[in-house]
Amino acid sequence: MKKIAAELLVERLIEWEVDTVFGLPGDGINGLTEALRRHQDRIKFVLVHHEEAAAFMATGYAKSTGRLGVCLATSGPGGIHLLNGLYDAKLDHQPVLALTGMQELQVLGTGYQQEVHLEKLFEDVAQYNVMVYTPVQIPTLVDLAVRSALVNHTVSHITFPNDVQLMDADTAAPGGPTPARAPSTSPIFILAPALPRDADLRRAAAVLNEGKKVVILAGAGAIGAADELRQAAELLGAPIVKTLSGKGSFPDDDPLSVGGLGLLGTLPAEKSMEECDTLFMVGTNFPFTKFLPESARTVQIEISPARAGNRVPTEVPLVGGARETLEALIPMLTRKTERVFLEDRQKEMKDWWNRMTAIADGSRNPIQPQYLMSLIDKYASDDAILSSDSGTIATWSARHWIVRGDRRFMLSGNLATMAPGLPYTIAAQHAFPGRQCIAFVGDGGFAMLMAELLTAILHELPVKIFINNNHCFGQILWEQMVLGFPEFGVRHSGIANFAAFAEANGAKAFRVEDSKDLEAAVKGALGHPGPALVDCLTNPDEPPMPAKVTYEMAKGFAEAFLHGQPHRVTIASTLFKDKIAEFKA
């Protein structure tokens, strides 16, 4: 059997140590799927149920491993379906390669069926974006695409006409007048040095040493630098605040940690920002600038020169990797003897944890969503990987999933899209078959891509799925009320039974309507050797309250009530019970 051109692409991916491709077949990529079949002993094709999920899986694979994620879709509609997941990768700076089909060369421009010029459609999402015209190009185009994704932490795209896929691999290039040989490169990538200049390090150390009240803000770029963060914070007497994407950068149970920042954050984190005189940003480009100090001196470690100093006036930007830069900076820092700023935040953090424990009340019905998350946290392993969806679900995971041991946390940070929780978890389980991989999702996000549960069952993946089933789009509900509007168009009229769907297709399933049954269900799902799902009916009127309620927020709530908020009685009752629980704490 002659080698086809598509095999050149697959073989080059293997040389780049790509071992997994997530995708869906189609007549626009029959050559590529045949190439994957011929090389299935060296590269795995993960068949999914929707191309959007394939792109999410590639992004989740990149987030959980730090390696290149790869997804595959057919021409036209298949490629279009990839876009949401690819924008997730782009905005969260993840290296992902998208492979798509294209109609054969001779019919392009004629309005042929499924003729969508994906190389044009992908111009915004993909930094490297190219169409293959002849087999001799293929290895070099793959090299350039992979290098671009890895160097720039972003998306690359190769679209491949289906007739070119099926050409003989040794088809000669047509040649021409250009004074250049056929492209020839190697699958080699070397990271640039990740250290700032010594003079910049010394300037940064001077600012940090002069600060009286220093706070560290750690983001996703600081993941893998927990030891260095701890050393720097201990020397500076600095509380460590984390962005939501950076939740996994530092243990939540460490005395130096004061939780997350923003609407989903903690009160000690907000106070740290309000009272500090020096801000040390590590691996973050935090966009919500209202939560950042207005006048603090700022030092920032950022891998991209283009992003350094993007959010606040930055006195010393340090362009480099978080771990390497901290290692070089730490010997230049002087230990502060005055620790009151840190100690005050630590006392406040103890109060905060007491409040969170009180609100996660297992005696209340309808079931508190905080109680569901607290039980998952209690019984999950210390190396579990939790993937959260966006919305109120992110609030409960941000506050009640405790990063400790070797735990990980993933979500769609900057795109904040719904539905990646389950695909992320499937990708993480493929990458780490021996670890507990958990999806914490809302009913809205799960319903969008619920067919991917069938993917998990098909591939015999022991993923654990916990659905916060409140039959509403909770985050939007509360955002409407904060604006002073009564809720509209955010609640479904019925409650879906996801447990029945899971059980009918071969997964272990639990449906929980009473809080007294929840603990056993969580333990049963986490202990099950195969895929398991808990469909938990939670209180739809539990608000994701910010750490600090502003006057404008309270005013909006009051106006929504006055304008006819339809569930005002149950919402008021829930808020009252929450406050009683906090007072008891």
Is residue 80 within 8 A of residue 108, CB to CB? The reply is no
Highest mean pLDDT pick, 56-65, 186-195, 472-481, 538-547: 56-65
The CA distances from residue 487 to 363, 476, 491, in Å, are 28, 8, 9
Across 540-547, average pLDDT: 92
Is the confidence at residue 518, as pLDDT, over 80? yes
Is residue 232 within 8 A of residue 281, CB to CB? The reply is no
Render pLDDT for 201-217 as a digit per residue (tens, 0 to 9). 999 999 999 999 999 99
Output the six-digit token pair for 291. Answer: 């939560």
Across 454-481, average pLDDT: 96
HSE of 498, CA atoms in CB hemisphere, 13 A:
29
Q: How confident is the model at residue 170 (pLDDT cuts 50, 70, 90)?
A: very high
Q: What angle do CA 59, 64, 65 make, to 5 degrees?
A: 100
pLDDT reported for residue 495: 86
Spatial neighbors of 558 by CB under 8 A, at least 6 apart, are none
pLDDT reported for residue 571: 87
Is the confidence at residue 470, as pLDDT, over 80? yes
pLDDT reported for residue 187: 95
The CA distances from residue 546 to 74, 270, 480, in Å, are 43, 10, 15
Is the confidence at residue 181, as pLDDT, over 90? no
Using a 10 angstrom Cβ sphere, with 0-12 exposed, 13-18 middle and 19 or more buried, the burial of residue 475 is buried
In this structure, of 79-88, 134-143, 329-338, 487-496, the range with the lowest mean pLDDT score is 487-496
Is residue 128 within 8 A of residue 156, CB to CB? The reply is yes
HSE of 439, CA atoms in CB hemisphere, 13 A:
37
Question: Could you give the domains of the chain?
Answer: 5-165 (3.40.50.970), 198-347 (3.40.50.1220), 360-584 (3.40.50.970)
Return the closest-CA partner of residue 71 out of 181, 3, 159, 170.
159
pLDDT reported for residue 537: 97
Across 364-379, average pLDDT: 97
Is the confidence at residue 346, as pLDDT, over 80? yes
Distance CA 552, CA 473 (A): 22
Sheet architecture: strand order including 20-23: 44-47, 20-23, 69-73, 96-102, 155-161, 126-131
Is the confidence at residue 585, as pLDDT, over 80? no
The conformation of residue 130, written as its DSSP 8-state character, comes to E
Is the confidence at residue 576, as pLDDT, over 80? no
Render pLDDT for 382-438 as a digit per residue (tens, 0 to 9). 999 999 999 999 999 999 999 999 999 999 999 999 999 999 999 999 999 999 999
Comparing 553 with 452, the larger pLDDT belongs to 452
CA max distance for the chain: 83
Render pLDDT for 107-124 as a digit per residue (tens, 0 to 9). 888 999 999 999 999 999
Return the closest-CA partner of residue 296 out of 252, 241, 224.
241
Q: How confident is the model at residue 192 (pLDDT cuts 50, 70, 90)?
A: confident
Q: For strand 69-73 and strand 96-102, is the pairing parallel, antiparallel, or unpaired?
A: parallel
pLDDT reported for residue 191: 84
Helices (H), 159-197: 162-165
pLDDT reported for residue 73: 98
Q: φ, ψ for residue 291 (rounded to 5)?
A: -90, 0
